[in-house]
Amino acid sequence: MPLILIVDDDSAMRGLLRDRLEDIYEIVDTGDPEQAIALALEHKPDAVLLDLMMPNFSGFEVCQSLSSLSFTQRIPIFIVSGEPATKYTTFCQNLGAAGYFEKPVDFAQSLASLATELQNKREERRIEVRVRLNVFLKLRGKDRDGTAFELLTVTENVSANGFLCRCTAALEKDSTLDVFVCHKGEHHAGTARVVRSEWPDTLYTRYGFRFMNKKPNVWVLQ
């Protein structure tokens, strides 16, 4: 059963979230935002539901901390806040949040979003083992407006047939581009397809790529 960490200083809200989720998820909750980081490190939950406005240590700081720590940065964080989504959504995405739910919570929508995110994580884990590794790449292709681009980037993790990296060009899912490994020159690894994106339409958009050729021509994992 997936584990959800709930962080909210309102005990009534924690209780409501627990009541709605505990039939399908294992729940750990706290009203102390500083303790939330320790709990995330201890339990490594499958997702975090996080309030923004809390005393001493805000949800913004918790979100940024969890997104910056290597042990927790892959955990999807969903903001659950009484603050208007139009006010903070983009800012929270830039800090690493995967979604934003306004209070009062639309549980049908939020449960669907949570389930989709967790399903995507499970499918990705089943495909291949990923290794945290920085590899310098050149990406060449066309963005979603059809404009040709060429840029340098660095992977955040890699697998035998794919990788995750930031890309300043806006890309559509299933679009393809040429990938070059930049090590002692440039070496064409192959053509890769966009299979997913994280934090879309922000300065920190990351894309998951999968090579279309069965085996990359030149790659760090063989």
DSSP states along 128-146: ---B----EEEEEEE-TTS
**pLDDT, tens digit, 9 for 90 and up, residues 136-194:** 999 999 999 999 999 999 998 888 889 999 999 999 989 999 999 998 889 999 999 99
pLDDT at site 73: 80
Rounded to an integer, what distance in angstroms lies between the CA atom of residue 101 and that of residue 85? Answer: 7
Provide the pLDDT for residue 10.
93
- What is the C-alpha to C-alpha distance for residues 35 and 42, in angstroms, rounded to an integer? 10
> What confidence tens digit (pLDDT) does each residue in 94-143 have?
887 888 998 888 888 888 888 888 877 655 554 566 788 889 999 999 99
SS3 string of 149-180? EEEEEEEEEEECCEEEEECCCCCCCCCEEEEE
Angstrom distance (rounded) from CA 26 to CA 5: 9
Q: Are 14 and 20 in contact (CB under 8 A)?
A: no
Model confidence at 197: pLDDT above 90? no
Average pLDDT over residues 21-44: 92
Residue 206's φ and ψ, nearest 5 degrees, are -120, 145
pLDDT in tens, 49-80: 999 988 888 888 999 888 878 778 888 899 99
| One-letter identity of residue 80 | V
Which one is predicted more confidently, 15 or 98?
15
